[in-house]
Structures are given as C-alpha cells and as structure tokens.
Structure 1
Amino acid sequence: MTTVSLIDVAGYLPGEPVPAEFYTGYQGAQDTLRDNPMFRIPPLRHHVAADETNVDMVERAVLPLIERHGRDEIRSVDVLLVHSQLPDMPFVGAGTEVARRLGLHPEWLIDVANAGCASFVFMLGLARQILATTDARSALVCNAQSAAGRLFTRSEVRGLAQAAVPGDGCGVGYLTTSHAAPLLGVETLHAGEYAGDMTMVRDDGRRYWEPGPSALRIGFTEAGLSQVLARGNRLVPQVVTTLCGRLGKATTEIDVLVTNQPNRTFLRNWRDALELAPDRHPDTFDRCGNLFGAAIPVTLDHAIRSGHVKDGSLVVLGGFAHAGDFAGAAAVRWHGQG
C-alpha cells in the first residue's frame, strides 16, 4: 500500500483572547449544571468576528503552509477535505469556496459532516485511503470551528454553564504520498447506538430553522452528561489502545498524545488510562477552551512549534465526537516541519 505522510500542520485563532469573566460576570440565565465537571471554565478562549466565516479561518490557517511549502505546491493538492462546525450556510458546504479562495482545483473535494470533535482523525483516514488507492498525490485537510462566537454568546445562552467552555479556531493538515512522516495507522469506531443522543434545543420547542426569538443551545441534562462522561472516558483509550496494538506498540511508548479537549476531566482520565505523563499529552485548553474538531490540529501545531514534538516521535491523535457516536485515533512517525 502506498505510504502517506502527514507532512505539516498549521493553525489559526481568531481575535484577541476572551477572558472567563465574559461569561462569569454576565447576569443571565442561571444553570443547575454549573458545578458539573464537564463545564469547568478555561481562563481564555477565542471568538470569531461577526463577519468572519469558516472559509476566512481556513484561508488564514493555510498561510503558514504556503510560506513553508510554496503557493504552487499547496495549489496543486488533489484532495480537499473540509469540516465546518458551525456551517455558515445551509445547503452549501465550505469546501468549494475554500478551493476558490486558495486557487485549488482538486480532483476530490468533500465536505465532511460527521465525526465532530474527532473529524481531523476521520479525515486523515479518508485522505490516506484516497491517496493510497488513486492517482492523487497530496491532500489538504481543514477543520474550522466557529460555534463559540456564533451560538454561545447569545444573551439567552451566555449565562449557561455550557457557554464558557467552547472556543473558535481552525487547524489544517497537509498530506502527501511519501515516506517523510508516515501515517502509520488509523483506527475508527462508529457507535450508532449513541447517534442522536446529542440534541440542539430551544426553550420554546421550535426547530432550528423555524423563526422566533429563542436561542439555540445544546440539550444537556445531568443524566445525559453522566452517560457522555462514561462513554468518553472509555472510547478514547479504547481506540488508542487498539491502534497501538495493531502497530505492535504499548500505549506507554507514545511520545506525544494529542486529543480533542472537551474539558480537563477527560484530558486527565485519558492520559491516566493510557499510563502517560502529563508532559506527553499537551493541550491548549486553558488558552483556547474546547475547540471541537479544530482542537487536534491546533494543539498539534502548537506542540510542534513549541518544540514539544521531536524528530522521530511517535505521535498519536485521538478523540471522540458528539455523545459518543464516533471515536478515532491515528498514529504518525513525525518527521515534518519543525
């Protein structure tokens, strides 16, 4: 099978950091879930500007890749995969506009709607399959997250516990058919029994497309949160352990683990389950909050630029999505841009 490498990653964070006081000082709705460990508040996060789109963020995130590899090389990618969380428009995905902005003419262009917070891993697996089985030779994988500034700053939602945790940002990855930084394996798990357990609600019962004043929010309950916590604690170590087993590695041999970052509880429980020291599990939670699908590429980019990822490191990426309907892990022998 053709070897596919994750050559480089880059990230973008919009605007100035927004302090926790933006939420904690707001006299809005009171929430009985305030003390739930799922909603421990990070000190900082970023919000998209009112006129900033997912395509804008992708365009800005890709700039470092253009600087490091050249505009012509990035423009020649054969595969473009884009995940937008939150889509800026119904009906139309962001991928075609990303291609237009960047001057791309990919043979494969897919707007990915599933896999949520673990969509970067899912798209790595998809890109690997396309590159290994077709004439395509390079891929650009993009995760844009704009739900924090769009949904959680609304007056009816801002006072809820769920509002202060998310942040906005974008992460991108560049893959080629080469041995430079081989993608060693991808493990995915689709758990259809949990599909639909994450819901979006409005207090007046309207569906999201129906007009009216009530703001959209995630339908969290105490019982639902307990289930998600139990699933998340199990799913991420499960897929990471399965992947490492297929590669003939113990989880303790992971040099750098990068996961999605819903909260500090998950981050601690995952590394404890995988028997990894905190310095082998970098995160950007305190400065970025929960970046949903963008968390893995943004955090990996930060870890690389800060010197945390050494040449030859075994890097494992892992996460789960929504209420547990997807989990995935990918392993890379890192020899990329430093």
Structure 2
Amino acid sequence: MAERVDTSDDWIIERTGIRQRHVAAEGECTSDLAIKAAERALAAAGVDGKDIDLIVLATATPDYTFPSTAVTVQAHFGCAGVPAFDVQAVCSGFVYALTVADNFIKAGQVKTALVIGAETFSRILDWNDRTTCVLFGDGAGAVVLKAEEGDGSSSDRGILTTHLHADGRQHDLLYVDGGPSKTQTTGYLRMQGREVFRHAVVNLAAVVDEALKATGLTSADIDWLVPHQANRRILDGTAKKLGVSPDKVVITVDRHANTSAASIPLALDEAVRDGRVREGQVVILEAMGGGFTWGSALIRM
C-alpha cells in the first residue's frame, strides 16, 4: 500500500488496526466468492444445495447491474424456482439479509434459507485515495437458517430479535460517486471518515441496546459481540459504550480489513470454527453502512 499512496504500514495499523487485506483475482467475481462461502456453509450445516428454499445475498458490488448475483448462486446449486435476490444495504447488508430470511421463515413461507454476504470492494476503490483504499478488502461469508419450533422466549435457539434502521440524510458521508442511472459509470467509494466514526459508535450502541431491551437480556448476558469489521477504533469504542469486555469481541479486521456485507459472516465463521462461539451462547451482530443504514441481530447459537 505504501508503494501506491502516501502511507505506511505503521500509520495504517495505528489508525485502523488493519494489517492485511484480501483482493479478488483478476476475473474473479462476487458470485465466485459467494458460491465458495455458500458451499462451506452448506457443508457445515449438512444441507444439500437442492434443499434450499430461499437465497438472500447481501452485496454492494454485484457481478452485474442485473440479474442479481443471488440467481447466479442459485444456478450453481441447482435449486431453480425458489426465490433468490440481492439486498443492498452496504456494510449493514448481512444483517438486513438475515432479517429478511428470518421473517420469511417466521411467516412459514420457507424452511431452509441461505444467507450470504459477499463483496469485491476492490473494484470500486480509488487506489490514489489513501483515506479509503487502505480500509477495504474482498471476501464472502454465509450461513444456513432452518425453521425450528420454539416457545417465543429468549431461551430459544436461533434468531431472537432483529432491528433495522436507515437515515438517507447522511448520504454524502459515505457513498459511491457513480451509478447506472446517475452517471452511467461504476464510480468510486468516497467517505468522510471522522463523521462516519462519530455516527457509528452512537448508532451501533443504540441498536444493540434496542435488541437487549426487546428480549429482556442485558449486556452481561452477551457471550460474544460480532460486529461489522470497519475499523479497530470503532470496534473498541462501541464495546466500551456497551460495557462489553474487549475479550468478548470477535475481531478479524486486522486480517480481512473492511469487507462490507461480508465482514460479519466472515468473523462469525472464524469464531465458530475455532471453537469460541458454541451452541447455547448468546451472540449479538451489529453493523452500520452507507446510507446510512444500521442494524442488529441477537442470536442464541
């Protein structure tokens, strides 16, 4: 990165906590990453791709303007006929997608849902802008949701509550300066980092409190906080505001950078696979992204 822009490894680590990032290969698309993550999620869940009833894919960097990246994933798994669509809420996309799938299940319309967060943000970065290009990476993560009866209490397993918000007045603080209708171009990511940081800590703490109040739980009941991996300072500030011990925060931003909608499922996957997150534990997911959009999901694993 220091060879591209006026920066240094020490500066990046001190300001962001990011030590490395992954970039998709030439010709590798968001759908390629999404399919790989979905294959691993389905294998972990013991579910065949043909048994999927719904695919919701969160991304701000789709393969095409249309069709959706979700239908490319659908074609790969051979589950033609089931609903498949993208959700665009930038860094909050995975929480939005998870909420959509959860409500489909609660409504009794589907029994098995595949939820994916996948991004190739490297394709919309201005590699001459050191305030943004050092922050982002590419990646994908996925989960499988299955319908199961519960008693409606906070002791149930699965998604206990979700909460979503947006504030379009903050458009100019974090956006991409292009689009098919506006400029007929892809555009590049633009951000006012200091203002985004200020809003993020306040909004993220508030939406976690909202989830706890909805379930009657407290911050002491949280086993793990799995936040959107935007910036180490935001993660530390949010945990402090919530009164959550730093050792209960799953952090992967140092190795993945900000992968937008992919960051929460990537972090969750790592924590499940290394044994930190276990069955029966209470996990809170939270994210904020361009728009602004923000949201939380409280889960008992």
Q: Same fold (TM over 0.5)?
A: yes
320, 323, 331: which one pairs with 2:288? 320
Structure 1 residue identity aligned to 2:103: Q
**Deviation string for 1:222-277 (max 9, x for gaps)?**
xx333212110100000000110111011232110101011111010010011111
- Give the CA deviation at 1:37: 9.8
Q: Identity, % of aligned pairs?
A: 23
> Which residue of structure 1 lines up, in the alignment, with residue 152 of structure 2?
none
Structure 2 residue identity aligned to 1:329: S
- Are 1:218 and 2:167 matched, yes or no? no
- Give the CA deviation at 1:208: 4.8
217, 220, 224: which one pairs with 1:252? 220
> Which residue of structure 1 lines up, in the alignment, with residue 206 of structure 2?
238
83, 94, 98: which one pairs with 2:73? 98
**Deviation string for 1:16-39 (max 9, x for gaps)?**
xxxxxxx1133x4x58xx979996
> Which residue of structure 2 lines up, in the alignment, with residue 289 of structure 1?
257
Structure 1 residue identity aligned to 2:241: A
Contact 2:17 2:253 in 1 (8 A): no
- Give the CA deviation at 1:107: 2.9
**Deviation string for 1:27-77 (max 9, x for gaps)?**
x4x58xx979996361111000111111111111122233334463x3211
Structure 1 residues 143 and 332: CA distance shift in structure 2, 3 A? same
> Which residue of structure 2 lines up, in the alignment, with residue 167 of structure 1?
137
- Give the CA deviation at 1:86: 1.2
Give the match's secondary structure for 1:233. helix
Aligned runs of 1:182-197 on 2, under 5 Å? 182-197=158-173
Give the TM-score taking structure 2 as reference length: 0.88
Structure 1 residues 35 and 129: CA distance shift in structure 2, 3 A? same
Structure 2 residue identity aligned to 1:123: A
Larger radius of gyration: 1
- Are 1:56 and 2:32 matched, yes or no? yes
38, 55, 65: which one pairs with 1:80? 55
Give the match's secondary structure for 2:144. strand
Paired residue total: 290
Contact 2:121 2:259 in 1 (8 A): no
Aligned runs of 1:1-338 on 2, under 5 Å? 23-26=1-4, 28=5, 30=6, 40=16, 42-70=18-46, 72=48, 74-113=49-88, 115-148=89-122, 150-152=123-125, 157-158=127-128, 160-179=130-149, 181-201=157-177, 208-210=183-185, 216-220=187-191, 224-322=192-290, 325-334=292-301
Q: Distance in 2 between matches of 1:81 and 1:128?
A: 11
**Deviation string for 1:198-218 (max 9, x for gaps)?**
23348xxxx6525xxxx9432
Q: Distance in 2 between matches of 1:256 and 1:162?
A: 29
Q: Distance in 2 between matches of 1:70 and 1:248?
A: 33
Q: Distance in 2 between matches of 1:46 and 1:267?
A: 20
Contact 1:76 1:106 in 2 (8 A): no
Q: Which runs of 5+ in 2 are unaligned?
A: 150-155
Q: Distance in 1 between matches of 2:108 and 2:194?
A: 44
- Give the CA deviation at 1:194: 2.2
Q: Distance in 2 between matches of 1:46 and 1:269?
A: 25
More helix by share: 2
Give the TM-score taking structure 1 as reference length: 0.79
> Which residue of structure 2 lines up, in the alignment, with residue 12 of structure 1?
none
